[in-house]
């Protein structure tokens, strides 16, 4: 193992976690030579000589072998990563938004420069899921990858169901513990999990799918009535990222799902993440680990740095061998949609209705809807529609083509809506 000199960008939660894990590792030969930060006036416990605000002093230093990028700004991160690779340096990053939105060009950049970019810390914290997909499952056809990809929302939902906390109280608790940001939008609306899912689509199925093509529905519109419904049915709710291959087409989305009490993911609590992989030969494989926190993510970053000392790089086997698999949103899902006022949902977006319920404090419809419809702004994180939850059962991706048109049952439901609206008026 060669001694690695590291240039680090960012010294926030993950950067400090990397510093702690690196300096307490018993089997790693390397050191941080310089740390580039934005605010030089911020008090830090390390020697001030270790810090700089000049990015070029790291990117152009011939003694630095590896650039580690751990900043929040995805655009600035892309500039750093691009320049580092072009300067002949390998790179480690944990910026899932940057990787997800630019993975195709980053793969090409690695090929043209001959340098490696590793990003295990960008997906599911301490779970080594990318390297597992690359190495162990590199040649096995996969049927499905799904799980809990966001520790913040899992912590919130655990507290809501196990301690009967309100969503607002659980969110404040998660923020106080450092599991959620002061602005929790990326977590609670499902964007964070979507970026991670987008990255895993490349390593699991060999396809690059831009995040804006993937539906993400969050947990921030959950109502007390939705939680009560779940409890009555002896269910919990988890924010699930899911990708499934049906024949030769891949479907993917992020949204809250009802989980049965005997399901494996029910026992995954607090800030823990979980990934379930289903392969043609291996059947189900379960991976569980902490998905949020300074040290777990810092350890994942250190693992990538260590791998570079052995000249490890992603080979993107599935991409080069199976890259022609199409991605589609043209499939039916079985969904639960709750709402307060009948006019707030468009029943024409349903292909069929399995169940409906109307009352003054809780109304919902369970039916089949096309994934494509959920990309429309009237559904995608629209507070007027409250929340869309995948319906009960594991076979929620039906793989059948969407066909527009109302059936007689939906016409009946529309009449019920109109009647209830008259009563309310």
Q: Which residues are catalytic?
A: 196
* Contact (Cβ atoms closer than 8 angstroms) between residue 368 and residue 332: yes
Q: Which two tokens stand for residue 65?
A: 């072998």
* Cβ count within 10 A of residue 252: 28
Residue 109, classed as helix, strand or coil, is helix
Give the Cα separation of 27 and 81 in Å (integer): 27
Q: Which two tokens stand for residue 241?
A: 């990222």
CA distances, 109 to each of 117, 176, 185 (Å): 9, 39, 31
Question: Which residue is associated with the tokens 């049927």?
Answer: 143
* Contact (Cβ atoms closer than 8 angstroms) between residue 138 and residue 275: no
Give the Cα separation of 364 and 366 in Å (integer): 7
- DSSP alpha helix (H) spans, 324-386: 371-374
Dihedral of alpha carbons 281, 326, 257, 220, sign: positive
Q: At 17, phi and psi to the nearest 5?
A: -65, -40
DSSP-derived letter for residue 342 is: G
């Amino acid at each position: 193992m060669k001694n690695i000199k590291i240039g680090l960008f960012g010294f926030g939660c993950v950067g400090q976690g990397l510093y702690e894990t690196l300096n307490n590792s018993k089997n790693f030969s390397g050191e941080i030579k310089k740390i580039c930060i934005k605010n030089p006036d911020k008090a830090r416990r390390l020697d001030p000589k270790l810090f700089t605000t000049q990015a070029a002093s790291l990117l152009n230093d011939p003694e630095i072998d590896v650039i580690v990028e751990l900043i929040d700004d995805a655009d600035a991160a892309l500039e750093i990563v691009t320049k580092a690779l072009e300067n002949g340096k390998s790179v480690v990053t944990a910026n899932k938004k940057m990787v997800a939105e630019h993975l195709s060009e980053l793969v090409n950049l690695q090929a043209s420069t001959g340098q490696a970019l590793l990003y295990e810390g960008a997906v599911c914290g301490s779970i080594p899921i990318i390297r597992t997909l690359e190495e162990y499952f590199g040649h096995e056809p996969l049927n499905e990858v799904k799980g809990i990809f966001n520790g913040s929302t899992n912590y919130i939902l655990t507290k809501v169901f196990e301690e009967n906390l309100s969503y607002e109280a659980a969110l404040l608790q998660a923020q106080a513990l450092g599991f959620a940001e002061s602005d929790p939008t990326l977590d609670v609306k499902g964007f964070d999990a979507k970026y991670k899912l987008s990255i895993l689509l490349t390593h699991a199925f060999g396809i690059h799918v831009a995040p804006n093509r993937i539906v993400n529905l969050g947990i921030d519109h959950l109502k007390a009535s939705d939680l009560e419904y779940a409890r009555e049915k002896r269910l919990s709710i988890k924010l699930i990222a899911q990708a499934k291959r049906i024949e030769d087409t891949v479907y993917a989305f992020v949204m809250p799902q009802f989980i049965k009490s005997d399901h494996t993911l029910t026992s995954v609590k607090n800030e823990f993440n979980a990934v379930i992989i289903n392969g043609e030969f291996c059947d189900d494989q379960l991976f569980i680990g902490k998905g949020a926190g300074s040290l777990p993510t810092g350890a994942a970053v250190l693992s990538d740095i260590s791998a570079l000392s052995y000249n490890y790089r992603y080979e993107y086997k599935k991409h080069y061998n199976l890259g022609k698999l199409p991605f589609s949103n043209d499939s039916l899902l079985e969904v639960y949609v709750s709402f307060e006022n009948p006019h707030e949902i468009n029943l024409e977006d349903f292909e069929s209705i399995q169940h409906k319920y109307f009352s003054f404090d809780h109304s919902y419809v369970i039916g089949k809807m096309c994934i494509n419809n959920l990309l429309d702004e009237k559904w995608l994180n629209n507070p007027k529609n409250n929340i869309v939850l995948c319906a009960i059962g594991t076979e929620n991706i039906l793989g059948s083509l969407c066909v527009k048109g109302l059936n007689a049952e939906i016409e009946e439901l529309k009449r019920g809506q109109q009647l209830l609206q008259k009563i309310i008026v």
